[in-house]
Amino acid sequence: MATRTDAPTRREQILKEAARLFAERGFHGVGVDEIGAAVGISGPGLYRHFAGKDAMLAELLVGISGQLLTGAKRRLAEADGVPAEAVLDSLIEGHIDFALDDRPLITLHDRELDRLRDSDRKLVRQLQRQYVELWVEVVRKVYPELTEPTARSAVHSVFGLLNSTPHLGRPGVLPGRGVTAELLHRMARGAFGAASPAAG
């Protein structure tokens, strides 16, 4: 994830390149040899780390869902006693980090989730539901006039907004990361505010 400062392990390098290649060319458009070449090892050498491409895909999609949930829980724990608006801002910042730094995983989730085994796909959905409900609780503290279903719909809508980053164009075409992050943050808060009946 973007918050790491230590050098990635070989396993993490493999996953990062697999995510990039799968997002660019599709799961079936990439061979094990190509993933190996991207990290400087032979294709068969990958089998010391993963059973195959299916295992890589599962670890990528289950892994990012778990990391988002864990990160959000950590932000909530660190924000004990902090005003709800600041907590919501912290959650938005965390998701923006993911949306800007892990774009291939967003594309991968949209295209390839159905390729996972049923058990892995159910786990992804379970982790995602927990992540959503955590957000709903915070959003309703900031906007108590929102009903639970409306808050949940607003959270999903904001995720759709933030997760649009793969469609924003090549990195060189965009404004700087900080400017883009600030824009996304303002838009997310604006969307939540617009969902409130008080906004009308």
- What is the residue extent of each domain of the chain? 8-50, 52-195
Question: In the numeric block, which tokens belong to residue 160?
Answer: 């759709």
Helices first, then strands: H and E counts in the chain: 8, 0
In this prediction, residue 16 has a pLDDT band, given cuts at 50, 70 and 90, of very high
pTM beyond 0.85, yes or no: yes
Question: In the numeric block, which tokens belong to residue 110?
Answer: 């949209």
CA distance 190 to 186: 6
Q: Which CATH class is domain 8-50?
A: mainly alpha
Q: What is the maximum span of the chain, computed from C-alpha positions, in angstroms?
A: 60
pLDDT digits (tens, 9 = 90+) for 160-200: 999 999 887 765 666 788 999 999 999 999 999 999 887 65
Q: Which residue has the higher pLDDT, 47 or 92?
A: 92
Question: In the numeric block, which tokens belong to residue 174?
Answer: 């965009």
Check pLDDT > 60 for residue 1.
no
Check pLDDT > 90 for residue 81.
no
pLDDT digits (tens, 9 = 90+) for 24-79: 999 999 999 999 999 998 877 888 899 989 999 999 999 999 999 999 999 999 98
Check pLDDT > 60 for residue 2.
no
CA distance 90 to 72: 9
Check pLDDT > 60 for residue 83.
yes
pLDDT of residue 167: 84
CA distance 179 to 129: 30
Q: Which residue has the tokens 């799968």?
A: 22
CA distance 115 to 14: 19
CA distance 134 to 107: 24
pLDDT of residue 171: 58
In this prediction, residue 4 has a pLDDT band, given cuts at 50, 70 and 90, of very low
Torsion angle of alpha carbons 126, 83, 3, 117, nearest 10°? 0
Of 59, 65, 93, 84, the C-alpha closest to 184 is 93
In this prediction, residue 85 has a pLDDT band, given cuts at 50, 70 and 90, of very high
Q: Which residue has the tokens 């907004």?
A: 161
pLDDT of residue 128: 98
**Whether the Cβ atoms of residue 42 and residue 101 lie closer than 8 Å to each other:** no
CA 159 to each of CA 121, 134, 141: distance values in angstroms, whole numbers, following the listed order: 19, 13, 18
Question: In the numeric block, which tokens belong to residue 111?
Answer: 């295209």
Pick the CATH number of 52-195 from 1.10.3720.10, 1.10.357.10, 1.10.3470.10, 3.40.50.80: 1.10.357.10
Residue 151 burial (CB count, 10 A): 26
Residue 49 has what DSSP assignment? T
pLDDT digits (tens, 9 = 90+) for 100-122: 999 999 999 999 999 999 999 99
**Whether the Cβ atoms of residue 88 and residue 80 lie closer than 8 Å to each other:** no
